[in-house]
Amino acid sequence: MLNFNFQNPTKINFGEGQIKVISKEIPLDAKVLLVYGGGSIKGNGVYKQVIDALSEHTFFEFSGIEPNPTYDTLMKAQEIIKAENIDYLLAVGGGSVVDGAKFIAAAALYEGDDAWDILAKQQAVTKALPIGAVLTLPATGSESNGNSVVTRDGNKLPFSSPLVRPLFAVLDPSVTLSLSDRQISNGVVDAFIHTIEQYLTYSVNGKVQDRFSEGLLQTLIEEGPKALAPATKENLEVRANIMWSATMALNGLIGAGVPQDWSTHMIGHELTGAFGIDHARTLSIVLPAVMKVRKEQKREKLLQYATRVWQITEGDDNARIDKAIRLTEEFFEAMQVPTRLSDVNLGSNDIDLLINRLEQHGMTALGEKSDITLAISREILTKAL
Amino acid sequence: MLNFNFQNPTKINFGEGQIKVISKEIPLDAKVLLVYGGGSIKGNGVYKQVIDALSEHTFFEFSGIEPNPTYDTLMKAQEIIKAENIDYLLAVGGGSVVDGAKFIAAAALYEGDDAWDILAKQQAVTKALPIGAVLTLPATGSESNGNSVVTRDGNKLPFSSPLVRPLFAVLDPSVTLSLSDRQISNGVVDAFIHTIEQYLTYSVNGKVQDRFSEGLLQTLIEEGPKALAPATKENLEVRANIMWSATMALNGLIGAGVPQDWSTHMIGHELTGAFGIDHARTLSIVLPAVMKVRKEQKREKLLQYATRVWQITEGDDNARIDKAIRLTEEFFEAMQVPTRLSDVNLGSNDIDLLINRLEQHGMTALGEKSDITLAISREILTKAL
């Protein structure tokens, strides 16, 4: 196990009916900015529950945060923050809204000349408005971590700070019943791949981390398809298990003390940036190709994955690894997401652009050993055709 | 899954050489009281590392906290706290020292007439001194939870408050190399039973919690005996996996959203209080009897435990449950702890005293459904003869 420091102070309020706790989680004297997306929370009753819970608070609203939130949209929130002396952000939505709130929170108190530098120059965040989150889409783990990704001119740029980690998060699985199949699919696949990226590297004998990761993967494999099947999709236990898995997949715990490989995410970001493909659907295309191209480097962990997650016991090492990769693809297919570039109408002619973008963004040494060069990323994308 | 609230802000600093971080974790202007036990930290180098790390801090020392820390000892610390205006406690030791520091921290700022009421009358803790912990014995999870047990006149009394949860904990597995076999055994068994008590109840379909618990149990079963075997006992990876398992076993995570059954602990406390038996060794005596007596009530989870933790697939339900209980006892035997009252020279004549103590302490409705009456506790103790 590698040395690590781990801290996650976000208070989790989990379960049906928990939205009402925001009335106590947010100080009564706070001036709150309610931040949300395109308005789906008005159709599914979440908005009303939030407004009811805030009946004794002073609050304002900022809506319109889009999937893959853009810098331009987020900077518009600064006007109301200044005009109304906002001192608390309440993000109500999925990972994009929470990510967006994080940038708004950091930009509001940024002391440099231009908040864009937080993203473009990775300037450290030294202050941020406090954030609470009501999660409506289990996927990114953003509700209890300090990570955020913001898009500008087709470029997805991440930043991270413990200061933008939500102080509390409400996870009510019943809220997810109004999600579309596509949103559920994307969320389950995103959480699955977050877990894989902290697991499928090389062994450091971190048994707790490995068992926890395998438990999350198995839960998502079992519960994900149930959330799409007519007979089980309304089952609140299915939704609860998916929701808690997605949070645990990226709250820092399973990645503490083990190597990590975020190459699938980094390559996937370019697919979203260049072609507008849903984040999770870029990951389901890239991951199987990463597994195939990095089979030798990840051999030990791929075998462990085959045995412990998929219970594959027959065949030689290569056969077991190949079967585990095939079952991973079949899981993605069951979740109705693409597994090939051709599934989203991209071909070999599009690879140059993606490689150029990776280079432009400094993504020239990816993977758990920083040895995935641009040439290997090209190989991965070619394998994904 | 049950609704839950979960928050654990303790910062974990894990790995060899991490003791030095206390120089930065504790504010430089703090007046620190270094709290420890019988002085073993002076023999194994931990004391020197701590002193070196505190070279720029103002600190005082309070030693002599015993296993099962007593109220009388802990109250003696109040003198130096008042005399020197101590405003930060650094606990260096195992669960007893950390538990003791928690009571010292709460008593120091207690506003009622008598700090004993925190234990005897379960008076709420409203303020406490901040605590940091350097853990030397992985077992209780006290380094990242708000629980404490204090003994007075042979009575073990618990209290709990988020205000006494350590702000940070240092977990350096190399520190555990100087522990005796008995200390290691006790620690592994304690952590194992903490996990069992949050797992072996009835199913609420909390898949993440169940997979995490099973992962911890499997890790302790695999690694515990290695920490006693001459060929592997010096292996730092073994120690690291045990140490991280013990913390995760009782930091609140695996118990969030699932029923819990602390009957083994409550009955075990009376064995320690009345006869001075090591805490973990009371648990290894009581747990198998709880499993046997509560077989029907815990049937579903016992079968799950047999399958997922012990990989028992043959035989009918009863046979698989019996085998899982037998393997649990064999694991305890491999860890060199007793599994019967007769192993510690107690017999049927001693049961009345234990039942009287349980009654006196209000432990008349134990278990995940509060249906373990005194009569059933008597049955459990009789089964443990």
CATH, residue A254: 1.20.1090.10
* Residues B306 and B278 both lie in one domain: yes
Judging contacts by C-beta atoms under 8 Å, the chain B residues touching residue A191 are none
Domain residue limits at B374? 180-383
Q: Would the CB atoms of B237 and A16 count as touching at under 8 Å?
A: no
Residue A223 has its nearest CB partner, among B8, B207, B241, at B207
Specify whether the CB–CB gap between A71 and A116 falls below 8 A. Answer: yes
Give me the mean pLDDT over the B81-110 stretch. Answer: 97
Residues B169 and B248 in one domain: no
Is-contact B91 B166, C-beta < 8 A? yes
A203 and A161 in one domain? no
Is residue A204, in this structure, part of any structural domain at all? yes
d(CA A106, CA A27): 20
Nearest CB among A4, A207, A241 relative to B219 is that of: A207
Q: What pTM, to 2 d.p., does this model score?
A: 0.97
Q: How many whole angstroms separate alpha carbon A380 and alpha carbon A377? A: 5
CATH label of the domain that carries residue A114: 3.40.50.1970
Tell me what the pLDDT averaged over chain B comes to.
97
Is the pLDDT assigned to residue B24 strictly greater than 80? yes
Same domain (yes/no): A22, A159: yes
Predicted local distance difference test score (pLDDT) of residue B15: 98
Residue A39 pLDDT: 84
Question: End of a domain among B134, B155, B174?
Answer: B174
| One domain, residues B137 and B196 | no
Question: In sequence order, which residues have a C-beta less than 8 Å from that of residue B193 and are 6 or more positions away?
Answer: B264, B265, B280, B283, B284, B287
Answer whether residue B238 shows pLDDT above 90.
yes
Rounded to a whole number, what is the distance in Å from the CA of B191 to chain A's nearest CA? 13
Return the structure tokens found at B23.
């120089």
* CA quadruple B311, B317, B322, B323: dihedral, nearest 10: -20
Same domain, B114 and B188: no
Chosen domain end from A159, A174, A189: A174
Question: Does some domain include residue B6?
Answer: no
Beta-bridge mates of residue B133 = B91, B169
Query: With a cut of 70, which residues of chain A have pLDDT below it?
Result: none
Residue A5 lies in a domain: no
Residue A163 and residue A203 in one domain: no
User: Do A95 and A157 have their domain in common?
Assistant: yes
With respect to residue B49, please indicate whether it lies within any of the assigned structural domains.
yes
Q: Is residue A302 part of a domain?
A: yes
Average pLDDT over residues B45-71: 96
Query: Measured between beta carbons, which residues in chain A are less than 8 angstroms from residue B12?
Result: 4-7, 256
A3–B256 C-beta distance less than 8 A: no
State how many domains chain A has.
2
Question: Is-contact A310 A327, C-beta < 8 A?
Answer: yes
Evaluate whether residue B5 is within a structural domain.
no
Calculate mean pLDDT across residues B159-174: 98
Residues B35 and B154 occupy one common structural domain: yes
Note the pLDDT tens digit of each residue in B114-156: 999 999 999 999 999 999 999 999 999 999 999 999 999 878 8
Residue A6 lies in a domain: no
Nearest C-alpha neighbor of B150 from the set B77, B79, B82, B101: B101
Q: What is the pLDDT of residue B154?
A: 78
Q: Which of B3, B20, B207, B304 to mutate to test the interface with A (most CBs of A within 10 A)?
A: B207
> What's residue B86's pLDDT?
98
B120 and B238 share one domain: no
